[in-house]
A and B are shown apart, each in its own frame.
Chain A
Amino acid sequence: MAYDKFEILKSTAVPLPIENVDTDQIIPARFLKATERKGFGDNLFRDWRYNPDNTLKEDFVLNNPIYKGKILIGGKNFGSGSSREHAAWAVYDYGFRCVVSSFFADIFRGNCLNIGVLPVQVSPAFLNKIFKAVEINPATEIEVNLPNQTITLLDSGENELFEINDYKKQNMLNGYDDIDYLTKMKEEIKDFEKTRPF
């Protein structure tokens, strides 16, 4: 489904300085039983966020009211593990529009781009700067500028360029997705299919 356009996002951020955050943590398997795409935000990081009796774990960052915003900052190798798009849906449904890390797992990155969450990969040094800035001042504002492909700590002006391929960038800027593209080339695909041996 087509999604909101993404141009410039200015927001505070939620820091999660853990490496190898896998999609089983982002949304545990037992919450994948829905047949519609709704309500996944409630179970984002379910087992890190709630005790078994459904009370909130106070030491988890999503339950700390001083951290909020539309940007999630994660440690290296964010989104590893299962290909479940539900993980990206949960991130989006909770209210995040951008995830920043020094390294993303492939399928999670692709899933994010397909549903309108911008994955921004920064250098390990810049990631550390962001974690430090947010730790010192949770009200730190960050600007993610997709047209310019920059991410900036607004207090200090420190910034870094990030990469995104042109096709995906245009999709995000215009709120188009791959299905829009593919359905327009169906005849070309049918001709190609005739050449396949099986």
Chain B
Amino acid sequence: MPDPLVAQAAADLFPNGVSRYAVGGLLVGLGAVVIYVGTGIAAGASTFLESTLSYVSGQSRFQRYVSSRDWRVVFTLGIILGGAAFAATVQSGVITTSLYQPGTTGRTYELAGVTLWLTDVQPWRLFVGGVLVGIGTRIGKGCTSGHGVCGVGSASKTSLVGVATFLTVAIGTAQVVAALGVSP
């Protein structure tokens, strides 16, 4: 029988349990591993932004990604369709597992028998945040997958410092925004 104090602490820190997070995280890592084992590439998601811009922009900065831009498009399409596969199966209730908790955030809607999901976070937050994410990951050489998954997995000091930096700043920012009463 679990200690009631421990159970209470777990309920406070992890109100949605940990299984969906842990299983999802293992799958994210597995996706990166499949690519690494086959190709030796430690993939990150944010370089797609610059490499894809090389199709439409002649700026010299984007041309260095020309050789990798095709597979980065394939990788990103895979991520989008992977999310769609999740929506068509687990999110739609076609596959049920005790490891998955549905959650109550945002709104769901139906399209062609598939349960889809919409965020309630306001468009201006997504847009302004997106601009800063686009600038920041490119200056900082990586994002949550490049630095956070592949870099930390490589025990790269640069990536560990990068993750510590963006995690700390993000926590501070989210706290300030919440304190200002911006919701959702």
A and B assemble together: no
Binding site for A on B (CB under 8 A): none
Binding site for B on A (CB under 8 A): none
